[in-house]
Amino acid sequence: MKTRIFSVLCENVPGVMMRISRPFTRRQINLDSITVGIEPTGLARIILMFKEDDRMAEFMRRVLVRLEPIVSVEVIEPERSIVREVTLLKTRKLNKKQLLKMVQQIERAGGRVLESKNNMVIAELSGEHDEIERVINALGPKILKEVARSGQVLISRVK
C-alpha cells in the first residue's frame, strides 16, 4: 500500500491529537509518523503518515475534515514536497573498528558527530527517511544504543 501524507491544519488545543488519531485507531490504521509544529498564525500543523489504499485514504481525509477543530487537510504527494527527518544517535562503548565504521557512515550520509567521549559517540543525521533508515540498519544494535527521531516533516514545493 502506498504511503499517504496528510498535512492537517488545526486548532492548537488540548485533545486535538486524540480527535485526529482516534478515527485511525477505530479503523486499525497505524500512523507511521506524527509531527506537530505551530504555525505563525497560532494554528497547529500536524503531519500524518500512514499506509492505505486510495479509497480508505480519501475516506479518512473526509473524516478528518469533518472534525470541528480541523481547519483543513491537505493531501501531500511525497514527490511534490520536501520531506526531512532529524535523528540523534548515541552509541555503545565501541572498539576501534566500530568507531571507524560509525564515523564513516555518519559522514558519508552527511551527518556530523556532536560529542565523542570514552569511545562513545553522539551524532546527528538529517535528511530523507529512507537514507536515515539505511544508516541505522547498517550500524545496527551492536553499535547504536539509543536513537531519537523527529518523525518526518515536510513542506510542499514552490509551484
Chain residues binding other proteins by CB under 8 A are 15, 18-19, 22, 26, 55, 58-59, 62-63, 65-68, 71
Contact 48, 31 (CB under 8 A): yes
Q: Choose between 59 and 88: whose C-beta lies nearer to other proteins.
A: 59
> Least distance from C-beta 62 to other proteins, angstroms?
5
Shortest separation between residue 46's beta carbon and other proteins, angstroms:
17
- Whole-number Å distance between alpha carbons of 154 and 87: 15
Identify which of residues 27 and 93 has a Cβ nearer to other proteins in the complex: 27
Closest approach of other proteins to the CB of residue 23, in Å: 9
Taking the least distance from each CB to other proteins, the nearer of 55 and 97 is 55
* DSSP secondary structure of 41-65: TS-EEEEEEEE--HHHHHHHHHHHH
Instruction: Reduce the DSSP state of residue 128 to 3 states and report it.
Output: coil
CB of 36 to other proteins, least distance (A): 19
Nearer to other proteins by Cβ, of 71 and 147: the residue is 71
- Residue 93 DSSP label: S
Does an H or E element contain 157, and which? none
Helices (H), the chain: 16-26, 54-66, 96-108, 129-143
In the bound state with other proteins, the residue whose beta carbon lies nearer, of 32 and 59, is 59
Shortest distance, CB of residue 18 to other proteins, whole angstroms?
7
